[in-house]
């Protein structure tokens, strides 16, 4: 009879014990993962970075710290460009150019190109192909979307051509326009080649002119205006329509609160809270386009009322992606309804921000009217999104873009440097004077220090754009011995009284000229900075001082 091994039961028990422990760990891990998955709330795009959130959540004395150096909006933080063909068109590539060449090869009516190499025929499709191929090699920072047929320039061997494009670093679908003059020639095989490209907007014969009648009844027209209207901008105010349309709607109306005349960081944080609540409640937001610009951004150093939201932000994009109605139109329709109907519009007045969006979710009133009559800081719009509401209200950052008119200036500045430039962001102003919070900033951004530090980061004689709040234009002259220096004020003609921006904003402002103010300067500076090939930052590259002062790094 075979003897039993006394160690077998012990080994089996150990194996069972290990199996049970492993199974328990597995079950426990699944339980933890499930709890995390259920309770996890994905953050807003801006809140994915501590640094970005800090810009908008630093509060001192119940209002926001002012940082006028760099300001970001939705198109700067999107995950990736909107790339639907309907939105931005299909970029022209080498493959599409080769396809066009194949189609031309099938066209027997075209000459071979060697019959007369002394005459450049700008309407010849092969001229356009030569220009397209040259642009792909020369301007790698932009995507070309479509071209117009080239037209004759000033000389027989010149062709002017216009195209639409988008910058590859811009995370929106917006398109911009350039028109350039090209000097054309012939290769050894008699095909066309670009001898020399023109500068930004040099192809004046290819631009779309606007003419206007100088005075009624004189039968004469003025000369062409010196600007080219951007026909793709449509920031007209939408109209609700009939009384029945108004009655069917559901609205969220915010009265003006303590946010008025505060800094732009404060305004954006509050405005997007209101817009986020409207989206949460599935209501149309009643929007006041009239803004007050804080003294930080004005030449008078005083708060200035009567600014239009459309001067600074892209109203066309906002009304396409959000349900909004302009306050004046809304109040007009509301008043008309009350005059012509016995039944009044149901209104729920909300006196305190402490009434949460969750409590209003099932309210059936046509208008929910939030009133902010309490003293500061109880009357700030963003208070609505604090506390438990923060879990339910997502600020729609992607809805708020910078003004297309300002972005046209950004494209003009970048295009004038052929999108081949580096940039340095030099923060000075009040921070440089405050030695208590920023003890080294002034010295670290001195002309001598800038020369020494930039020489190790940027190659000599590159185009160098300086985004700065330094008021003295000649402050950076020492850099001109090493780089081709560009400052925002070098491009003042882009908002001068003969510019496209000037004419468009004057029309928008009821015929009154608009000042190119401090906030507009920051917006343009910021966007040009983002388009640079190499970017040098003040608080990361130039100084060891903390961005928000001593002991905040």
**pLDDT tens track for 344-369:** 899 999 999 999 999 999 999 999 99
DSSP SS3 for 165: strand
- Tokens of residue 513, six digits: 């000229």
Residues 416 and 395 in one domain: no
Q: What is the largest CA-CA distance in the chain?
A: 129
Tell whether 153 and 248 lie within a shared domain: no
Residues 422 and 340 in one domain: no
Can you give the pLDDT at residue 8? 57
Asked if residue 54 is part of any domain, the answer here is no
Residue 499 sits in a domain of what CATH number?
3.40.50
Say whether both 337 and 395 belong to one domain.
yes
What's the mean pLDDT when you consider all of the chain? 84
- How many structural domains is the chain composed of? 3
Domain that residue 498 falls in? 404-542
Same domain as 320, residue 418: no
Tokens of 412: 């003009």
Is residue 20 domain-resident?
A: no
Ranking 206-220, 294-308, 390-404 by mean pLDDT, the lowest is: 206-220
| Structure confidence at residue 84 (pLDDT) | 42
Q: How confident is the model at residue 114 (pLDDT cuts 50, 70, 90)?
A: low
Yes or no: say if 151 and 206 are a contact pair by the CB < 8 Å rule.
yes
Q: State whether 328 and 432 are in the same domain.
A: no
- Is 248 domain-assigned? yes
More confident call, 86 vs 21: 21
pLDDT confidence of 235, banded at 50, 70, 90?
confident
**What is the CB neighbour count within 10 angstroms for residue 447?**
13
Rounded Cα distance between 251 and 24, Å, is: 53
21-48 residue pLDDT tens: 677 766 666 666 554 444 433 333 333 3
Give the range among 73-87, 159-173, 282-296, 423-437 with minimum mean pLDDT: 73-87
Task: Tell me the per-residue pLDDT of 119-130, one tens digit each, with 9 for 90 and over.
Answer: 899 999 999 999
Output the pLDDT for position 214. 37
Give the pLDDT confidence of 212-224 residue by residue, as tens digits: 433 334 444 443 3
Pair 244, 390 in one domain: yes
Whether 59 is in a domain gets the answer no
Q: Are strands 192-197 and 251-254 parallel, antiparallel or unpaired?
A: unpaired
SS3 217: coil
* Chain CA centroid to CA 104, Å: 40
> Using N-to-C axis directions, what is the helix angle for 94-105 and 125-138, rounded to 10°?
160
Predicted pLDDT of residue 74: 76
Q: Which of 374, 399, 424 is the last residue of a domain?
A: 399
Is residue 217, in this structure, part of any structural domain at all?
no
Same domain, 452 and 503: yes
- Do the bridges between strand 422-426 and strand 463-468 make them parallel or antiparallel, or are there none, so unpaired? parallel
Measure the N-to-C terminal CA separation of the chain; round to a whole number of Å.
80
Q: Do residues 200 and 330 share a domain?
A: no
Predicted pLDDT at 158: 96
pLDDT digits (tens, 9 = 90+) for 480-531: 999 999 999 999 999 999 999 999 999 999 999 999 999 999 999 999 999 9
Is residue 337 located within the same domain as residue 475? no
Same domain (yes/no): 115, 243: no
pLDDT at 90 over 90: no
> Which residues have a Cβ under 8 Å from the Cβ of 236 and sit 6 or more positions away?
none
Segments in 78-197 forming alpha helices (H): 85-88, 94-105, 125-138
Exposed e or buried b per residue across 175-188, where buried means at least 16 C-beta atoms within 10 angstroms of its C-beta: bbbbbbbbbbebee
Whether 354 and 293 map to the same domain: the answer is yes
What is the band of 79 on the pLDDT scale with cuts at 50, 70, 90? low
Q: Which residues pair with 63 in a beta bridge?
A: 60
């Amino acid at each position: 009879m075979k003897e039993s091994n006394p160690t077998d039961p012990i080994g089996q028990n150990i194996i069972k014990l290990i199996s049970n422990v492993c199974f328990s760990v597995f079950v426990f891990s699944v339980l933890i993962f499930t709890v995390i998955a259920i309770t996890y709330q994905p953050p807003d795009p801006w809140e994915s970075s501590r640094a970005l959130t800090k810009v908008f959540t630093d509060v001192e004395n119940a209002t926001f710290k002012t940082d006028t150096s760099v300001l970001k909006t939705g198109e700067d933080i999107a995950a990736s460009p909107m790339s639907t063909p309907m939105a931005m068109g299909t970029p022209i590539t080498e493959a599409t150019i080769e396809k066009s060449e194949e189609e031309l090869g099938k066209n027997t009516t075209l000459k071979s190109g060697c019959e007369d190499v002394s005459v450049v025929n700008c309407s010849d499709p092969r001229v356009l192909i030569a220009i397209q191929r040259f642009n792909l090699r020369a301007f790698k920072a932009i995507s070309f979307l479509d071209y117009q047929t080239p037209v004759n320039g000033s000389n027989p061997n010149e062709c002017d051509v216009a195209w639409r494009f988008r910058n590859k670093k811009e995370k929106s679908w917006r398109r911009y326009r350039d028109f350039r003059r090209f000097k054309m020639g012939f290769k050894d095989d008699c095909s066309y080649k670009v001898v020399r490209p023109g500068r930004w907007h040099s192809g004046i014969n290819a631009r779309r002119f606007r003419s206007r009648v100088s005075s009624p009844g004189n039968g004469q027209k003025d000369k062409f205006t010196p600007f080219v209207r951007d026909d793709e901008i449509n920031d007209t105010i939408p109209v609700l329509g009939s009384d029945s349309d108004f009655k069917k709607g559901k609205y969220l109306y915010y009265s003006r609160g303590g946010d008025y005349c505060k800094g732009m960081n404060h305004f954006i944080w509050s405005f997007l809270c209101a817009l986020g609540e409207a989206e949460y409640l599935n209501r149309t937001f009643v929007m006041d386009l009239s803004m007050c610009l804080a003294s930080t951004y004005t030449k008078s150093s005083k708060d200035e009322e009567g600014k239009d939201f459309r001067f600074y932000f892209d109203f066309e994009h906002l009304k396409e992606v959000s349900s909004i109605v302009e306050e004046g139109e809304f109040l007009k329709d509301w008043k008309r309804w009350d005059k012509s109907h016995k039944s009044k519009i149901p209104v729920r007045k909300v006196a305190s921000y402490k009434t949460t969006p969750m409590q209003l979710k099932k309210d059936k009133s046509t208008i929910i009217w939030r009133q902010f009559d309490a003293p500061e800081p109880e009357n700030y719009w963003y208070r609505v999104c604090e506390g438990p509401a923060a879990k339910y209200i997502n600020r729609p950052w992607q809805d708020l873009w910078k003004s297309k008119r300002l972005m046209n200036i950004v494209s003009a500045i970048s295009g004038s440097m052929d999108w081949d430039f580096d940039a340095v962001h030099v923060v000075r102003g009040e921070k440089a004077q405050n030695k208590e919070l920023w003890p080294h900033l002034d010295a670290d951004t001195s002309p001598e220090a800038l020369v020494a530090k930039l020489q190790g980061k940027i190659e000599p004689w590159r185009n160098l754009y300086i985004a700065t709040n330094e008021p003295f234009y000649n402050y950076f002259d020492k850099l001109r011995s090493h780089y081709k220096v560009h400052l925002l004020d070098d491009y003042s003609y882009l908002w001068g009284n003969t510019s496209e921006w000037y004419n468009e904003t004057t029309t928008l402002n009821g015929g009154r000229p608009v000042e190119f103010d401090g906030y507009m300067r920051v917006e343009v500076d910021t966007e040009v900075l983002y388009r640079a090939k190499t970017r040098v930052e003040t608080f990361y590259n130039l100084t060891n001082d903390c961005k928000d002062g001593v002991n905040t790094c």
